[in-house]
C-alpha cells in the first residue's frame, strides 16, 4: 500500500498529497459525472468523503455510471461502502440544506442535474472560506473535446448553465464560481447519454478540484 500514491506524489509532491487526504470533501450527486469525479479524487489521495444522493441504481444507469452493477441499491450507500466514507440518502432542497451543516467541509462539489437543488446549494456555501465547484449536464452530447471550465457567468452555449445563471440571478447571489460545461449543441431531446462525455465531465471536475486544492495548499504553506 505504500506505493499506492507513488505516481501521484511524483506529480504533485508528498506534502501536497498528504494535504489532499486531510480535506473534508462533500459531493452532491453520484451519477455519471459525480461518480467518476469521486473515483478520480479517491485515487489521487483524497480520503475524507461525504456523499449525498437520493437515488438507487437502475438499469438505465448501466451505460455510464460507476458501480451501477449494484442494481436496486442506494447510490450513497454503495459509495459509502466502496470508498469507506459517509453516504447520505437525501434529496437536496432548501429544507435539507437548512438542517445540514456545510461549514465543516473544505471542498464542496455539485454534480446534481436539478436546477432548484443547484441554486439552493450555491446559496448555502460560504464561497469565501470553502472551495465550491459545479458541473452542468453531460447528457445529449457526444464530443468530450467541447468540455470547458469557466466561471458560471462566463459560460456560453450550454442550456443548463444558462438556466442556472438565470435562476441564481433571481436569488440575488453575489459572486461567481467555476463550472464544468460543454458548448456542444444537444443531439437529442431526451436525456440520451454517452459515457465518453459524462465520464470526461467527472474527470474534468476532479481535475478542477485538485487544482483548486493545490492553490489552497500554496496559500497556506507559501510554496
Average pLDDT over residues 115-142: 96
Q: Where are the domains of the chain?
A: 6-221
Residue 222 pLDDT level (bands cut at 50, 70, 90): confident
DSSP state letters, 137-178: --TT---GGGEEEEEGGG--S-HHHHHHHHHHHHHT--S--E
Classified as helix, coil or strand, 132 is strand
Quick one: pLDDT at residue 200?
98
Average pLDDT over residues 201-218: 98
Classified as helix, coil or strand, 69 is coil
Tens of pLDDT, residue by residue over 155-194, are 999 999 999 999 999 999 978 999 999 999 999 989 899 9
- The rounded distance, in Å, linking the Cα atoms of 117 and 56 is 18
Dmax over CA atoms of the chain, in Å, equals 50
The candidate with the shortest Cα–Cα distance to 97, out of 88, 84, 85, is 88
- The rounded distance, in Å, linking the Cα atoms of 39 and 54 is 19
The candidate with the shortest Cα–Cα distance to 210, out of 30, 42, 33, 7, is 42
Quick one: pLDDT at residue 175?
82
Q: Where are the alpha helices (DSSP H) in 44-149?
A: 75-82, 94-99, 115-122
Tens of pLDDT, residue by residue over 38-54, are 999 999 999 999 999 99
Cell of 173: 447571489
Using only the alpha carbons of the chain, give its radius of gyration: 17
- Burial string for 114-128 (b: 16+ CB within 10 Å, else e) reads eeebbbbbbebbeee
Does residue 1 have a pLDDT over 60?
no
Quick one: pLDDT at residue 174?
79
Quick one: pLDDT at residue 128?
93
How far, rounded to the nearest angstrom, does the alpha carbon of residue 113 sit from its chain's CA centroid? Answer: 11
Tens of pLDDT, residue by residue over 138-156, are 999 999 999 999 999 999 9
| Percent of the chain with pLDDT strictly greater than 70 | 99
Whole-prediction pTM value? 0.97
- The rounded distance, in Å, linking the Cα atoms of 108 and 56 is 22
Residue 137 pLDDT level (bands cut at 50, 70, 90): confident
Superfamily of structural domain 6-221:
NAD(P)-binding Rossmann-like Domain (3.40.50.720)
Residue 120 pLDDT level (bands cut at 50, 70, 90): very high
**Bigger pLDDT: 72 vs 191:** 72
Q: What number of other Cβ atoms are within 10 A of residue 203's Cβ? A: 18
Amino acid at each position: 500500500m505504500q506505493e499506492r500514491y507513488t505516481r501521484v506524489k511524483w506529480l504533485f509532491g508528498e506534502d501536497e498529497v498528504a494535504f489532499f487526504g486531510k480535506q473534508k470533501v462533500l459531493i452532491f450527486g453520484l451519477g455519471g459525472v459525480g461518480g467518476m469525479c469521486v473515483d478520480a479524487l479517491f485515487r489521487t489521495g483524497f480520503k475524507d468523503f461525504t456523499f449525498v444522493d437520493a437515488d438507487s441504481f437502475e438499469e438505465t444507469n448501466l451505460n455510464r455510471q460507476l458501480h451501477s452493477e449494484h442494481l436496486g441499491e442506494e447510490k450513497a450507500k454503495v459509495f459509502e461502502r466502496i470508498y469507506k466514507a459517509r453516504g447520505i440518502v437525501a434529496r437536496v432542497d432548501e429544507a435539507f440544506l437548512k438542517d445540514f451543516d456545510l461549514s465543516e467541509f473544505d471542498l464542496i462539489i455539485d454534480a446534481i442535474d436539478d436546477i432548484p437543488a443547484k441554486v439552493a446549494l450555491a446559496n448555502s456555501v460560504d464561497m469565501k472560506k470553502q472551495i465550491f465547484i459545479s458541473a452542468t449536464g453531460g447528457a445529449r452530447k457526444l464530443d468530450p473535446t467541447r468540455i470547458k471550465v469557466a466561471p458560471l457567468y462566463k459560460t456560453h452555449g450550454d442550456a443548463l448553465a444558462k438556466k442556472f445563471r438565470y435562476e441564481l440571478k433571481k436569488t440575488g447571489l453575489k459572486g461567481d464560481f467555476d463550472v464544468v460545461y460543454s458548448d456542444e449543441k444537444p443531439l437529442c431531446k431526451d436525456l440520451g447519454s454517452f459515457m465518453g462525455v459524462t465520464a470526461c465531465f467527472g474527470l474534468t471536475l476532479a481535475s478542477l478540484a485538485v487544482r483548486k486544492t493545490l492553490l489552497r495548499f500554496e496559500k497556506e504553506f507559501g510554496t
